Structure 1
Amino acid sequence: MDREQFRKAGYAAVDRICDYFENLESYDVVPKVQPGDIARLIADEAPQEGEPWENISKDFDRVILPGITHWQHPNFYAYFPANTTYECILADMYAGAVSNPGFNWLCSPACTELESKATDWVAKLHGLDDTWQNEGKVGGGVINGSASESCLTVCIAARERYLRLHPNTPFAELVIVATTQTHSLAAKAALILGIEFVAIETKEEDDWALRGDGLRTALEEIEGQGKKPFILIATLGSTSTGAVDKFGEITAVTADYPSLFLHIDAAWGGVFLSLPECHDETFLSAINARAPQSADDVGEGAICAGGEVHSISSNLHKSGLVTFDANCLWIRDRALLTSALDVTPPFLRTAQASAGLVTDYRNMSISLGRRFRSLKIWFALRSYGVTGFQKHLRQLISRAEVFERALLDADKGVPGVVLFTPRRFSLVVFRVVSLAAATPRSDTPDAVAARLERENALNASVVRHANEDSSLMLTPTTVGGKNCVRIAIGSPNTEDRHVLDLVEKIRRLVDRAREEVGDSKQL
């Protein structure tokens, strides 16, 4: 393809993308394909001779679109949001045009310096104070592909920090600590690093959040077994229920464990820090709080004090209007990353970095080569502005409130449906309960177990039948042995009419589930 052919194909591609969004609501959310259907449409080997672009581009419609789950669809309520915007699509086009690996400042100074500015912009938008920003030359932000990547990165940094504080600690004694509600990224990081993982049980009466007393008990038990907990991964907006751990209580405990690194995974919930009305709910003041610095901390550089949050990461590619992938990781002492990840052979050395004038982001991340992700963040925030970004988040919350009210309405709602946890931002988690009337023996262990089994079957049936309907997509969760249904509202294309229609669909699904399970008031 030459330049003029690209120009023509590019115009056509933009038109096709616009048509896609214009007709998005007409697509099934979930593709009606079986395993192998798409693969059978693709040749087993690359062609010997090049094909005309016209044939290649047509296969996007013929081969690819029939196998796409449409995360931008207004009736996509599964997993987590994955927003995109026209601004970011254009940014990805430009980033592709100037394609470079971005492993140091000299590769392309704009890539490095825009990343520093973009992560500071987002930190300020989230309400993170100047200790998290690159401007201060101590803390700072870096853009990774996912929260999982950031979690693994800080686990490496925390491990090296602990080993500097406690040389000769046997590797087998190290432990990564999280909760039963922490995303699987914590367990995966432990698996990759070959380190033991311990999950602390959280409680329904605490809305599944980690509390200080539970943390202290768990740490005492771990240390009593001769283990060395070196990082705690707390959560701001868990995947299952939207739980937010009690960061103030947590740091009050970690103050007594100065070797313990504290990371907050705010993959989904972090963007809601951008709303002033959510600052109390997200415990922003506890995130920003600094621990008192003792004389022993002076001059230690990479050794931070206990009793404070050391790092936090947030995904802009979920509810943050930025095309996947764009995870921001902030750390209060960037030397924690660079001391663990800096490998600089002669061919990567530059005069600017040696003089301490620039940041080489390869030393703050796992990968050497890095994508130019900051461009799409810059484009999106400049186009929407703080006001537009906040308006989008408030609309998501408003849609969830509309859905919640309609679902639970005493007269027009769905009978026998209750919230499993209080709505968190734009996530509603509900549970279908049995309509069977209580009897004098309803509280016996066998009766309680039978009721739980029946209710779990009801909720599983609702999800199963929902996902047989290609017009919507939602996902289940199981917490505390109870099956629940998650409704994650995130698409900018979702309107009130969509969530009200969803309530009616859920009514039909619940009726079908009750008939299937045999649940009625007469039981």
Structure 2
Amino acid sequence: MDIEQFRQAGYATVDAICDYYASIDSRPVKAEVQPGFLIESLPPSAPARGESMQHILADFQSLILPGITHWQHGKFFAYFPANSTFESMLGDLLATSVSNPGFNWVCSPACTELEQCVVDWTARMLGLDDVFLTSSKRGGGIIMNSASESALTAAMAARERSLRWLSQEGGSSEAGSVPGSDIPLDCRQQSSQKLVMYGSTQTHSLGAKAAKLLGLQFRAVAVSAADDYALRGAPLRDAIETDVAQGMIPFFVIATIGTTSSGAVDHIAEIGEVLRAYPTAFLHVDAAWAGVALALPDQRKNLRLDQVNQYANSFCTNAHKWGLTAFDCSLCYIRDRRDFTDAFDVTPHFLRSKEGDSGTVIDYRNWQIALGRRFRSLKLWFVLRSYGTDGFKKHLSNGIELCGRLEGLVRESSNFEIVTPRSLALLVIRLKPQSEVPVFDEELNLLNQRLSGVLNARSDVFLTETMLHSTESDIRCLRIALGGARTTWRDVEEVWEVIETEGNRIVETWREDGV
């Protein structure tokens, strides 16, 4: 393809994207296909001769689009929003046009320096302490692919930080070490398997996965429904003290702002105070979904911003969820950048540069697990400049306002209840029929399982269920996650009508026949 052919194909592709968004509301939310549909439609091998772009684009329409679940649809209320905007798409296109692996400043200086600027723009917009600014030259931010990568990266940095402290306190003198590390091998071998990671029973699975990848233990501390499923300091202290008594070493705690199941906000100050007694411990705050709402000053107290600024060693939020920026764009901030560089700076001669050796630039490869990295900052730059902070905040406020209005509709229903306090643009509900005799959670869970199955069989709405585990009970419920850039009040009303109608049918059958 030459330049002119690319120009023509590019025009056709943009037209196709525009047509897609112009018609997205008329499409089903969920893909109406069966497993294997695409595999059976494609040849077993790539073509020997190149095909025309016109043919390829036509196949995208006929083969690929039918198998796409439309996350940008106004009635997509599953998981969390994964906003994509035209500004973000254009930024991504331009980033691809100057594709490079970006591991050193010298690879393409603009890639590194634009990232430094936009992570600081975002930090200021969110109200993060100046220590988290890259310009502080103490901490700083980096854009990763997901909150899972951010958590794993922070956990690896925390492990090295903990082992380094243990080696210094223990007076280890063995000279041998892993290349790129100053931690003696005897300390690494003796202490590594004693390290324990902590979260709650509501912590995202990224915590358990990080522990699994590191070959370490993950302790899920139970939460209480009375605390709205948020992690408190006292049960964490009990868990740590039990482990320490058995010779284990606390090294990493994940606190969450906006848990996946219910949007709970952990008590960060309580957790931070517990960790003061353990110099090996590192506090990572996972705010993957809810963190962008810190841009709204009226939400900062509920989201415990002051506590984050005082206690967090690292903080993560995703611009690619509620933040108008297409996947992937996860912002990870660190209080002390040496925690990253001490863990990940392994520099063979061929990666050295005079700028890096002088310490005048950041080489982001030393802040992450991988060597290469995408030019993710460009799309976020496009979004922040096009929307401005005012437009960004307006988008967030709209999702919160729609969810508040939905809460009013649910409260008017005789067969549904709100399970946990509304969290920003997330509402957690369950089917709970009015009854003269008590209906216990076990029976309610069966009713809500049935409702979820009925809703999942439809393609015109998409919601996800969850199970809220607590010290009191296990509750099956339905999550309604708003925040889509194209969601309107009419979308919300129509989805609620589907939920309520299906729920009422299930209740009617239950009253007649029993579960």
Which TM-score band (shorter chain)?
over 0.9
Q: For the Cα contact (< 8 Å) 2:230–2:264, is it kept in 1?
A: yes
**Aligned twin of 1:418:** 417
Relative to 1, partners in 2 of residues 1:224 and 1:349: Cα closer, same or farther, differing over 3 Å? same
RMSD of aligned Cα (Å): 1.4
Distance (Å, rounded) in 2 between the aligned partners of 1:101 and 1:522: 61
Give the alignment partner of residue 465 of structure 2, picking from 476, 495, 503: 476
Post-superposition Cα deviations, 1:156-193, rounded to whole Å, max 9, x if no partner, equal 00000000111224222111111110000000001111
Give the secondary-structure state (helix, strand or coil) at the position aligned to 2:479: strand
Distance (Å, rounded) in 2 between the aligned partners of 1:336 and 1:520: 62
Is the aligned partner of 1:189 residue 2:182? no
**Equivalent residues in 2 for 1:221-236, closer than 5 Å:** 221-236=242-257
Relative to 1, partners in 2 of residues 1:133 and 1:225: Cα closer, same or farther, differing over 3 Å? same
Cα displacement (A) at 1:522: 10
Is the aligned partner of 1:4 residue 2:4? yes
Q: For the Cα contact (< 8 Å) 1:91–1:379, is it kept in 2?
A: yes
**Aligned twin of 1:317:** 320
Relative to 1, partners in 2 of residues 1:174 and 1:383: Cα closer, same or farther, differing over 3 Å? same
Q: For the Cα contact (< 8 Å) 1:434–1:519, is it kept in 2?
A: no
Q: For the Cα contact (< 8 Å) 1:436–1:521, is it kept in 2?
A: no
**Aligned twin of 1:304:** none
Give the secondary-structure state (helix, strand or coil) at the position aligned to 2:303: coil
**Equivalent residues in 2 for 1:211-222, closer than 5 Å:** 211-222=232-243
Q: Which runs of 5+ in 2 are unaligned?
A: 168-186
Cα displacement (A) at 1:224: 1.8
Q: Which one-letter code corresponds to 2:503 in the other structure?
A: V
Q: For the Cα contact (< 8 Å) 2:398–2:483, is it kept in 1?
A: no
Distance (Å, rounded) in 2 between the aligned partners of 1:434 and 1:52: 58
**Aligned twin of 1:30:** 30
Q: For the Cα contact (< 8 Å) 1:30–1:70, is it kept in 2?
A: yes
**Aligned twin of 1:432:** 431
**Aligned twin of 2:296:** 275
Distance (Å, rounded) in 1 between the aligned partners of 2:250 and 2:275: 11
**Equivalent residues in 2 for 1:111-122, closer than 5 Å:** 111-122=111-122
Give the secondary-structure state (helix, strand or coil) at the position aligned to 1:40: coil
**Aligned twin of 1:460:** 449
Is the aligned partner of 1:175 residue 2:196? yes
**Aligned twin of 2:184:** none
Q: For the Cα contact (< 8 Å) 2:410–2:418, is it kept in 1?
A: no
The normalised TM-score by structure 1 is 0.92
Is the aligned partner of 1:41 residue 2:41? yes
Is the aligned partner of 1:377 residue 2:388? no
Is the aligned partner of 1:91 residue 2:83? no
Distance (Å, rounded) in 2 between the aligned partners of 1:418 and 1:520: 21
Q: For the Cα contact (< 8 Å) 1:402–1:499, is it kept in 2?
A: no
Cα displacement (A) at 1:428: 0.2
Q: For the Cα contact (< 8 Å) 1:437–1:522, is it kept in 2?
A: no
Give the alignment partner of residue 334 of structure 1, picking from 337, 351, 358: 337
Distance (Å, rounded) in 1 between the aligned partners of 2:242 and 2:423: 31
Distance (Å, rounded) in 1 between the aligned partners of 2:286 and 2:336: 17
**Aligned twin of 1:354:** 357
Distance (Å, rounded) in 1 between the aligned partners of 2:63 and 2:494: 31
Q: For the Cα contact (< 8 Å) 1:435–1:519, is it kept in 2?
A: no
| Identical-pair percentage | 47
**Aligned twin of 1:141:** 141
Cα displacement (A) at 1:514: 1.9
Cα displacement (A) at 1:498: 1.1
Q: Which one-letter code corresponds to 2:242 in the other structure?
A: E
Cα displacement (A) at 1:431: 1.3
Is the aligned partner of 1:485 residue 2:478? yes
Distance (Å, rounded) in 2 between the aligned partners of 1:456 and 1:69: 27
Q: For the Cα contact (< 8 Å) 1:402–1:500, is it kept in 2?
A: no
Distance (Å, rounded) in 1 between the aligned partners of 2:490 and 2:246: 55
Distance (Å, rounded) in 2 between the aligned partners of 1:107 and 1:47: 34
Q: For the Cα contact (< 8 Å) 1:436–1:520, is it kept in 2?
A: no
Give the secondary-structure state (helix, strand or coil) at the position aligned to 2:94: helix
**Aligned twin of 1:261:** 282
Distance (Å, rounded) in 2 between the aligned partners of 1:521 and 1:137: 68
Q: For the Cα contact (< 8 Å) 2:112–2:363, is it kept in 1?
A: yes
Give the alignment partner of residue 390 of structure 1, picking from 389, 393, 409: 393
Post-superposition Cα deviations, 1:185-206, rounded to whole Å, max 9, x if no partner, equal 0000011111111110011000
**Aligned twin of 1:293:** none
Cα displacement (A) at 1:434: 3.6
Distance (Å, rounded) in 2 between the aligned partners of 1:236 and 1:249: 14
Q: For the Cα contact (< 8 Å) 1:29–1:70, is it kept in 2?
A: yes
Q: Which one-letter code corresponds to 2:195 in the other structure?
A: L
Post-superposition Cα deviations, 1:477-502, rounded to whole Å, max 9, x if no partner, equal 00121100000012111111111122
Cα displacement (A) at 1:353: 0.6
Post-superposition Cα deviations, 1:447-499, rounded to whole Å, max 9, x if no partner, equal x7xx3222011111111111111101000000121100000012111111111
Distance (Å, rounded) in 1 between the aligned partners of 2:324 and 2:115: 17
Give the alignment partner of residue 508 of structure 1, picking from 495, 501, 504: 501
Distance (Å, rounded) in 1 between the aligned partners of 2:285 and 2:115: 21
Q: For the Cα contact (< 8 Å) 1:435–1:520, is it kept in 2?
A: no
Q: For the Cα contact (< 8 Å) 1:77–1:488, is it kept in 2?
A: yes
Q: For the Cα contact (< 8 Å) 1:179–1:210, is it kept in 2?
A: yes
Distance (Å, rounded) in 2 between the aligned partners of 1:258 and 1:430: 41
**Aligned twin of 2:181:** none
Q: Which one-letter code corresponds to 2:99 in the other structure?
A: S
Q: Which one-letter code corresponds to 2:429 in the other structure?
A: F
Q: For the Cα contact (< 8 Å) 1:156–1:340, is it kept in 2?
A: yes
Give the alignment partner of residue 199 of structure 1, picking from 202, 220, 239: 220
Cα displacement (A) at 1:511: 1.7
Q: Which one-letter code corresponds to 1:204 in the other structure?
A: A
Post-superposition Cα deviations, 1:398-431, rounded to whole Å, max 9, x if no partner, equal 110111111212xxxx222111100000000011
**Aligned twin of 2:261:** 240
Cα displacement (A) at 1:521: 12
Q: For the Cα contact (< 8 Å) 2:256–2:266, is it kept in 1?
A: yes
**Aligned twin of 1:401:** 404
Give the secondary-structure state (helix, strand or coil) at the position aligned to 1:366: coil
Post-superposition Cα deviations, 1:133-173, rounded to whole Å, max 9, x if no partner, equal 01110100000000000000010000000001112242221
Distance (Å, rounded) in 2 between the aligned partners of 1:143 and 1:72: 23
Give the secondary-structure state (helix, strand or coil) at the position aligned to 2:193: helix
Distance (Å, rounded) in 2 between the aligned partners of 1:143 and 1:459: 39
Is the aligned partner of 1:368 residue 2:367? no
Q: Which one-letter code corresponds to 1:174 in the other structure?
A: L
Distance (Å, rounded) in 2 between the aligned partners of 1:435 and 1:350: 71
**Aligned twin of 2:75:** 75
Distance (Å, rounded) in 1 between the aligned partners of 2:126 and 2:511: 46
Give the secondary-structure state (helix, strand or coil) at the position aligned to 1:41: coil
Give the alignment partner of residue 494 of structure 1, picking from 463, 487, 491: 487
